[in-house]
Amino acid sequence: MIEFEGVGHRYGERMVLSGVDLRLPERRVAFVGANGSGKSTLARMINGLVRPTTGRVLVDGLDPSHDGPAVRRRVGFVFTNPDSQIVMPTAGEDVAFSLRRSGLSRRERAQRAAEVLAEHGLDGYADHPAHQLSGGQKQLLALCAMLVLEPEVLVCDEPTTLLDLRNKRRFVDLLGTLKQQVVLVTHDLDLLGGFDRVLVLHAGRVVADDEPEPALRRYRELAG
Ligand SMILES: Nc1ncnc2c1ncn2[C@@H]1O[C@H](COP(=O)(O)OP(=O)(O)OP(=O)(O)O)[C@@H](O)[C@H]1O
Ligand SMILES: [Mg+2]
């Protein structure tokens, strides 16, 4: 269970989030809102990459600011910019690297990595240089490197910006089948049909919290 209790955040003098009180037990939760409305800041708090300046965040009762490693074992994070997430020379090694503490043998890790890549649109790319994948393929790689760890929660900050139609459909299908709780930040409103809950951020505050249709109606009104 992810909880925000009186969460606010400022970068220097700039107040970018305030008064965020949320309990998020639903399986599919999305944050939408204008550029700069605070979505990435909020998402990053879930695994301790950003610490709230006021209030606190809890994941299964653990505070990411204090129990970072324990929270990060539960929460996988997929960033907007996949380059920031690539750590190894090839796609297969990159996914296998996620499993370095799994207890699996080197061979088993490589095999598991190849399987996960094949499941998510990167069949045959295990030996491909990770930095020489296309932008969308890198997004898929970043997703694979998280999914292979089978976290309880997957936080994705605009994970589909570079995906083609087929891979975006694949991602939507994946959202339908993943056992994980997914917290998705997106500008791609087509992804949200099956979501349980959509929160609209506006100037650092949650201004709508509803099922997709009414929440997105409110978002469209705000966008003018
Ligand atoms: N590291 C930082 N230092 C200073 N200000 C920051 C930093 N990161 C974000 N901000 C500011 O905080 C505000 C919220 O940024 P955030 O990245 O959370 O927005 P966002 O809703 O994710 O926007 P987008 O849709 O463009 O990704 C913005 O005004 C931004 O300029
Ligand atoms: Mg953002």
pLDDT in tens, 144-203: 999 999 999 999 999 898 888 988 888 888 888 888 999 999 999 999 999 999 999 999
Nearest protein CA to atom 10 of ligand 1, as residue:
11
Is the pLDDT reported for residue 48 higher than 90?
yes
Give the mean pLDDT of 129-137: 93
pLDDT in tens, 63-120: 999 999 999 999 999 988 889 889 999 999 999 999 999 999 999 999 999 999 999 9
Give me the pLDDT at residue 154, please.
Answer: 95
Task: Say how many Å lie between the CA of residue 199 and the centre of ligand 1.
Answer: 17
Verdict on whether the full-model pTM lies above 0.85: yes
Give me the pLDDT at residue 214, please.
Answer: 97
User: For the sheet containing 181-185, what is the strand order?
Assistant: 75-78, 153-157, 181-185, 28-33, 197-202, 205-210
What is the C-alpha to C-alpha distance for residues 99 and 223, in angstroms, rounded to an integer? 43
Query: 3-class SS at 41?
Result: helix
Q: How confident is the model at residue 224 (pLDDT cuts 50, 70, 90)?
A: confident
Q: What is the DSSP letter of 90?
A: B
Atom of ligand 1 nearest to the CA of 38: 18
For the chain, list the domains and their CATH numbers: 2-223 (3.40.50.300)
Nearest protein CA to atom 4 of ligand 1, as residue:
11
Give me the pLDDT at residue 209, please.
Answer: 98
Give me the pLDDT at residue 94, please.
Answer: 97
Nearest protein CA to atom 29 of ligand 1, as residue:
36
In 3D, which of 184, 170, 85, 185 has the Cα closest to residue 133? 85
Give me the pLDDT at residue 166, please.
Answer: 86
Strand 153-157 and strand 181-185: pairing?
Answer: parallel
Residue 201: nearest ligand to its CA? 1
11 lines ligand 1 (CB under 6 A): yes
